[in-house]
Amino acid sequence: MDKVDLLVVGSGIVGLAMAWTGARRGLKVAVVERDHRCVGASIRNFGFITVTGQREGHTWRRAMRSRDLWNEVAPQVGIDVLHRGLWVLARRPLAADVLQAFSQTDMGRDCRFMQADDAAIEAPELRTEGATAALYSPHELRVESRTAIPLLAHWLSCRHGVQFHWGHTVLGIEEGRVHTGAGEFTADRVALCPGTELTGPALPWLADLNLSLTRLQMMRIRPEAGFRLSAAVMADLSLVRYAGYAALPQAAPLLNQLQQEVPASLEAGIHLIAVQSADGSIVVGDSHHDDRTPEPFAQEAVDRLILGHLQEAVRLKSCEVVERWTGVYPTGHSEDAVIRAPSPDLRAVVVTSGTGASTAFGLAEDVFMDW
Ligand SMILES: Cc1cc2nc3c(=O)[nH]c(=O)nc-3n(C[C@H](O)[C@H](O)[C@H](O)COP(=O)(O)OP(=O)(O)OC[C@H]3O[C@@H](n4cnc5c(N)ncnc54)[C@H](O)[C@@H]3O)c2cc1C
C-alpha cells in the first residue's frame, strides 16, 4: 500500500472521527480494522448523542461540538436522526431537586425544568403519575448506530477517499510503520483508536493508567403498535450516574435514598436510557459491571430490573424483548477520554466512559489542535 498521511487503527466512532477530521484537513487517510466490519461498542450503543448530563468541562464541550457535527454530517451521509431531545423524569422529590439545580447551571441553560403534570401534556408517553418533575433538554440526537457506523465508513471512502483495510489486526507500531499479520503499512502519522483492546499495540502508552473495562447489558423491546417516544428518556438513577448531575450537591441525598430503595439496581450499575428506532422498537438499558476482563454472561435478573425501570418511566402496554446483547467500553480515567502523544507522529485516543458516540467528533478536533 502507498504511504498515507494518516493511518488510523480502529473503525469505531473514534477511528472514524479521526479519519473524517484528518480528511477534512486535506490528509490522505487510511483505516486499518481487525474485523471485517465494525462490531465494537460503536454499533452496540444506544446511538444516543447526549449533551445534557455530561461531565462539566471537556466532555460537555466536546459533546456540544459533536452534536453540531452530527447535525452537519448526518444528512450528507444519509443517516436518519430518529428523534431529538431528552426527557429526564424525576419520580422522587430529591431527584426533582437535582434537576432543578441542574437547570440553573450554565450547562442547563437551554433546558426546561417543569412539573410532572406539564411534562405529561408535552410527552403523554411518560408515566407521570407519582412523578414529581421533569427536565427537557433540546440538545440530544438519536441515530441507529448499527447502520450509521457502516454508512459513515462508506461515505468516508466514497466522499473523502479514505481507504479501508478490513480484517487486518495491527500487531505493532514503530516510527510510522504499522505491522499487521498480512504485511506493513506506512504513514506520516498514526492514530491508534483501539477501543477496548487495551492489551494490544496500545499497551505501552496506556499501561500506567490501569484502565479497566465496563460491560453493559442492553435490550431491544417491541412496544404496542403506534407507541411513540417523543424524545429519549432517562430517570432518577441517571442522576447519580451521569457526572453532569452527580457532581451537584443535591445528588448526594438522592444517592442515599436510592441506596435504601433500589440497592440491587445500584449494585448492578443500572440506570435508564430508552430510545426509539424507525420500526417502533425501543432500545433500553443499561447496567454497568467493571472488570479488567469482563464476564461474558448476561444476567436475566439485571434485564428484569432494567425493564422494571422502563415501565416505571414510560406508559407501555407491551414490552416483549426481541433482542439482547452486551457491550464493553474502557473505564477508569477521570476525564472520560485519554489522548496520549508518545512521539510526534503517534497519538493513542481512547474514550474511557460511555460517551464516545456523543463526544468523538469533538475529541478528534482536540487531537488535531496541536498535531
Ligand atoms: C452498550 C453500550 C452503550 C453505549 N451507549 C452510548 C451512547 O448511547 N452514547 C454515547 O455517547 N456512548 C455510548 N457508549 C459508548 C460508546 O459506544 C463508546 O465510547 C465508543 O463506541 C467507543 O468508540 P471506539 O471507536 O473507541 O471503540 P470501538 O467501537 O470498540 O472501536 C474500536 C475498534 O478498534 C479495532 N481494533 C482494536 N485493536 C485493533 C488492532 N490491534 N488492529 C486493528 N483494529 C483494532 C476494534 O476491532 C474496533 O472495531 C456505549 C457503549 C456501550 C458498550
The answer on 168 and 192 residing in a single domain is yes
Residue 189 sits in a domain of what CATH number?
3.50.50.60
Q: Could you read off the pLDDT of 225-239 as tens digits, one per residue?
A: 999 999 999 999 999
Mean pLDDT of the chain: 97
Closest approach atom of ligand 1 to CA 200: 41
- Tell me how far the alpha carbon of residue 359 lies from the centroid of ligand 1, in angstroms: 12
The whole-angstrom distance between residue 4's C-alpha and the CA centroid of its chain comes to 30
Residue 103 sits in a domain of what CATH number?
3.30.9.10
Tell me the C-alpha distance between 318 and 335, whole Å. Answer: 39
Whether residue 20 has its Cβ less than 6 Å from ligand 1: no
The answer on 227 and 110 residing in a single domain is yes
- Tell me how far the alpha carbon of residue 20 lies from the centroid of ligand 1, in angstroms: 16
| Domain assignment present for 162 | yes
The answer on 350 and 221 residing in a single domain is no
The answer on 349 and 247 residing in a single domain is no
Return the exposure string of 21-43: e unless at least 16 CB atoms fall within 10 Å of the residue's CB, then b.
bbbeeebbbbbbbbeeebebbbb
| Domain assignment present for 166 | yes
Nearest Cα residue to 221 out of 82, 345, 347, 322: 322
| Domain assignment present for 266 | yes
The answer on 221 and 270 residing in a single domain is yes
Alpha helices (runs of H) in the chain, residue ranges in sequence order: 13-24, 41-44, 58-77, 93-103, 116-122, 145-160, 203-206, 243-246, 251-261, 263-267, 300-313, 356-369
| Domain assignment present for 345 | yes
Strands 320-331 and 212-222: what pairing?
A: antiparallel
The whole-angstrom distance between residue 99's C-alpha and the CA centroid of its chain comes to 22
The answer on 250 and 321 residing in a single domain is yes
240: region left, alpha or beta (phi > 0 left; psi from -120 to 50 alpha): alpha
- Tell me how far the alpha carbon of residue 105 lies from the centroid of ligand 1, in angstroms: 30
From atom 3 of ligand 1, which residue's Cα is the shortest distance away? Answer: 45
The answer on 322 and 356 residing in a single domain is no
| Domain assignment present for 79 | no
* Ligand 1 pocket: which of 7, 13, 14, 45 to mutate (most atoms within 8 A of CB): 45
Q: Could you read off the pLDDT of 303-344 as tens digits, one per residue?
A: 999 999 999 999 999 999 999 999 999 998 888 999 999 999
Length of the chain: 371
* Ligand 1 pocket: which of 16, 34, 60, 333 to mutate (most atoms within 8 A of CB): 34
The answer on 351 and 225 residing in a single domain is no
The answer on 161 and 126 residing in a single domain is no
Whether residue 271 has its Cβ less than 6 Å from ligand 1: no
Q: Could you read off the pLDDT of 74-102 as tens digits, one per residue?
A: 999 999 999 999 999 999 999 999 999 99
DSSP per-residue letters across 187-225: EEEEEE--TT-TTSTTHHHHGGG--EEEEEEEEEEE-ST
Closest approach atom of ligand 1 to CA 14: 25
Find out whether 366 and 339 touch, Cβ atoms under 8 Å: yes
Query: Is residue 1 scored above 80 in pLDDT?
Result: no
Whether residue 354 has its Cβ less than 6 Å from ligand 1: yes
Whether residue 295 has its Cβ less than 6 Å from ligand 1: no
The 3-state DSSP class for residue 285 equals strand
Q: Could you read off the pLDDT of 8-55 as tens digits, one per residue?
A: 999 999 999 999 999 999 999 999 999 999 999 999 999 999 999 999
Please report the pLDDT score of residue 353 as a whole number.
Answer: 96
* Ligand 1 pocket: which of 20, 33, 171 to mutate (most atoms within 8 A of CB): 33
| Domain assignment present for 260 | yes
From atom 31 of ligand 1, which residue's Cα is the shortest distance away? Answer: 12
Nearest Cα residue to 63 out of 269, 324, 321, 351: 351
The answer on 291 and 180 residing in a single domain is no
| Domain assignment present for 276 | yes
Closest approach atom of ligand 1 to CA 216: 1
- Tell me how far the alpha carbon of residue 317 lies from the centroid of ligand 1, in angstroms: 33
Please report the pLDDT score of residue 2 as a whole number.
Answer: 82
Query: Is residue 175 scored above 90 in pLDDT?
Result: no
| Domain assignment present for 50 | no
The answer on 172 and 126 residing in a single domain is no
Please report the pLDDT score of residue 357 as a whole number.
Answer: 98
Q: Which amino acid is at 224?
A: E
**Which residue has 430518529 as its cell numbers?**
82
The answer on 220 and 105 residing in a single domain is yes
Q: Could you read off the pLDDT of 184-217 as tens digits, one per residue?
A: 999 999 999 999 999 999 999 999 999 999 999 9
DSSP per-residue letters across 298-350: PPHHHHHHHHHHHHHHB--S--EEEEEEEEEEEE--TTSEEEEEEETTEEEEE
Share of residues in the chain with pLDDT > 90 (%)? 97
Tell me the C-alpha distance between 27 and 299, whole Å. Answer: 46
Whether residue 132 has its Cβ less than 6 Å from ligand 1: no
What is the grid cell recorded at 311? Answer: 415501565
Whether residue 38 has its Cβ less than 6 Å from ligand 1: yes
Whether residue 348 has its Cβ less than 6 Å from ligand 1: no
**Which residue has 443517516 as its cell numbers?**
79
End-to-end CA distance of the chain: 24
Q: Facing residues of 232 across strands? A: 86
Closest approach atom of ligand 1 to CA 171: 41
Nearest Cα residue to 17 out of 147, 144, 148: 148
Find out whether 251 and 333 touch, Cβ atoms under 8 Å: no
Tell me the C-alpha distance between 302 and 308, whole Å. Answer: 10
Nearest Cα residue to 284 out of 266, 296, 302, 267: 302
Count of structural domains, the chain: 2
Share of residues in the chain with pLDDT > 70 (%)? 100
Domain limits at 109?
85-140+212-331
